Amino acid sequence: MRIGYVCKYVPAEALEAMGAHMERIEPDESLVSFDAAESCMHANVCSFAKATFETVLSGNLDGIVLTTCCDSMRRLADALRAQAPNLFIHVLDVPRDTGEAACALFERRVAELLSSYGKFANATFSEKKLFAQLGGTPCPAEGTCDSSLELDYARLHSEAAQPSFRLAKSSSVSQSFASSNQAADSAAWSEGCEASERNADEAVAAPRVDNALQPQTHFSPAMPNVGIAGARANAEIKRILESHGVNIALDITCTNASRRFVPQKADTLAHYAHDVLTQLPCARMRDISPRKAFFDHVLPQIDGLVFHTVQFCDMYSYEYSDLKRTSPAPILALETDCTVQSHGQMLTRLEAFLESIGASQKEHLASQKGSPMSKTATFVVGLDSGSTSTNAVVMNEAREIVASVVIRTGAKAGASAERAYREALERAGIAPDQIACTIATGYGRVSIPFADENVTEISCHGRGAHYFNPAVRTILDIGGQDSKAIHVNATGEVTDFAMNDKCAAGTGRFLEMIARSLEISLDELGPAALESKKHLEIASMCSVFAESEVISLIANNEEKPDIAAGVCRAVAGKAYSLMRRVGLEGAYMMTGGVAQNPGVVRAVEELIGEKLFICEDPEIVGATGAALLALEKSV
């Protein structure tokens, strides 16, 4: 039987001892929508729950074990029961406490799960099988434990030993389990209980290991060490990190099941249930002090922490806020919605984070220098392939921009980049063999095969902004499909950044759509806002709802300049919230195509209380940063 699970509190080892093949569910990474799930559950249910629903129905699982970690999991169970009545679907009610009574209660609920699965799969449970499943070996004499096992475990975890713990026996547990299963099952369970009663008369139980304080960590002396925390991080995050030469030092997300329990000959199930419940607690548990102690211990030892959350899930938001405020290690907040569309922004955020902490291969350009510039190769090129425009900058050895091009991005990023590259060289009056290095940035950077390297637009905007104004500390970049706030230090290195969600709200696309509704060009929208005489508020930043709101204002005979000014203020408000997340420190600079919109610029300046520095061509800042990195690699 193939049984799926998603929570670390599921007693997977006990089910495996009954013959189940346990599989931790990773939502299908090819998902593009949740049509089946949203036909059975509300659209605002956690995207992980919807993705799990789609994955279970499209897979070959015989069942799934969920826990009461949140309402979304309960709704998931109800929806699966309705759509797949032949599957084994069990919701394990996990106590939020870890005291003696809670452990006894959890043992009883685990026993109920095992009994339910036994009926479904015609399988039997025995504590001897569980003992073996946990790594125990047959004892040399009845009633004694495997001393070699105890010594080995003590050697591995000697510092984690804590005072003895002895779980209160509950005869009702064994009675309820035995009465609900087959005769052989009852005999096996009774045998285990008799052995437990004999050993319970001993003075003390074997010393316990505090699993809660010892999740697995793996530090590398030769590679950057990055941890993963938060909720339900998928395999793609790990693949991206590992592909950039990063060691994943720890993973304490709520789905991570990397653990090892101490097999105990006496009261095997009781000890095991205790160890499962007293793992490093998740954010839903009443006492999360072990988590704080763990973070206090490991954060000074790692280079950075990726804190993952799922769309519509706020369970870990308080922990992230606290860590962001107190952590000595840089932290990246990463939210995904379990669809393939998340990949682009996930890749950009992770690469930018690695570049900012010096852990990315891309950040070591200076140490990977090519041949010094020859007399025929005296220039470099930076290419910024964005969703709306593709920009190219040609720079010489003296760090002077000798040519730049801004063209509209077409249907293929690679073709647009090649055209921008060719036009930039023509304007500079140079040949391709005079280019020592080309570095690409932007969302289309991976689609430019002739580039020597590619770097995220976060790092490139930091370098470019520092080039145009070394006093700049906070950068606001609003492009065609996203907006971002970036904080840099005195040398132009990125120290923090924040990006908008996977949505066009408050971006160039958003403004284009509003301009069409007002029947004016995008270039006219900003100047029109400056002519406003009446204060109007645009309540929604959703592109679709905002367009409907604008149409309603037009129907009410509101003036176009007043509507335009309201839209510009709404865009500025969203941008300001991003800037606050990275820290409001002057001087301020605005980059990207929207920096040419005077209405948005004025609205942002009113919020920050300072003037924005805007260079002559704000669209080429990212390409300029890429050219600077290319120069570092080549000279």
Q: What is the pLDDT of residues 11-36, one digit of tens each?
A: 999 999 999 999 988 776 677 778 88
Closest listed residue to residue 22, CA positions, set 32, 43, 8 = 8
What distances in angstroms separate CA 541 from CA 231, 321, 507, 537, one per listed residue?
A: 27, 24, 10, 11
Q: What is the pLDDT of residue 396?
A: 92
Q: How far apart are CA 614 and CA 628, in angstroms?
A: 19
Q: How far apart are CA 263 and CA 249, in angstroms?
A: 26
Residue 541: which pLDDT band, with cuts at 50, 70 and 90?
A: low
DSSP 122: T
φ, ψ of residue 46 to 5 degrees: the values are -45, 130
Q: What is the pLDDT of residue 425?
A: 93
Residue 62: which pLDDT band, with cuts at 50, 70 and 90?
A: very high
Q: Which of 87-91, 152-156, 190-194, 287-291 has the lowest mean pLDDT?
A: 152-156
Q: What is the pLDDT of residue 34?
A: 83
218, pLDDT greater than 90: no
What mean pLDDT value characterizes the chain?
80
Query: Burial code of 25-39, b = ≥16 C-beta within 10 A, e = fewer?
Result: bbbbbebeebeebee
Between 489 and 155, residue with greater pLDDT? 489
pTM of the full predicted structure? 0.72
Between 150 and 285, residue with greater pLDDT? 285
Between 353 and 173, residue with greater pLDDT? 353
Instruction: Reduce the secondary structure of 510-538 to three states and give it as a string.
Output: HHHHHHHHCCCCHHHHHHHHCCCCCCCCC
The model's pLDDT over 573-627, given as tens digits with 9 standing for 90+, comes to 888 988 998 889 989 999 988 898 999 999 999 999 999 999 989 999 999 999 9
Q: How far apart are CA 80 and CA 178, in angstroms?
A: 29
248, pLDDT greater than 50: yes
Q: What is the pLDDT of residue 312?
A: 72
Between 180 and 129, residue with greater pLDDT? 129
How much of the chain exceeds pLDDT 90, in percent?
36
Between 481 and 347, residue with greater pLDDT? 347
150, pLDDT greater than 70: no
Q: What is the pLDDT of residue 549?
A: 79
Q: What is the mean pLDDT of residues 444-464?
A: 89
CB atoms near residue 141 (< 10 Å): 6
Q: For residues 500 and 506, is the Cβ–Cβ distance under 8 A? A: yes
Nearest 5 degrees, angle CA 329-CA 214-CA 273? 135
Domains present along the chain, CATH in parentheses: 2-209 (3.40.50.11890), 222-259+288-362 (3.40.50.11900), 370-455 (3.30.420.40), 474-614 (3.30.420.40)
368, pLDDT greater than 50: no
Q: What is the pLDDT of residue 501?
A: 60
Q: What is the pLDDT of residue 377?
A: 62
Residue 233: which pLDDT band, with cuts at 50, 70 and 90?
A: confident
Q: Which of 167-181, 228-242, 557-571 has the lowest mean pLDDT?
A: 167-181
Residue 504: which pLDDT band, with cuts at 50, 70 and 90?
A: low
Q: How far apart are CA 243 and CA 246, in angstroms?
A: 7
Q: What is the mean pLDDT of residues 289-311?
A: 89
Q: What is the pLDDT of residue 185?
A: 41
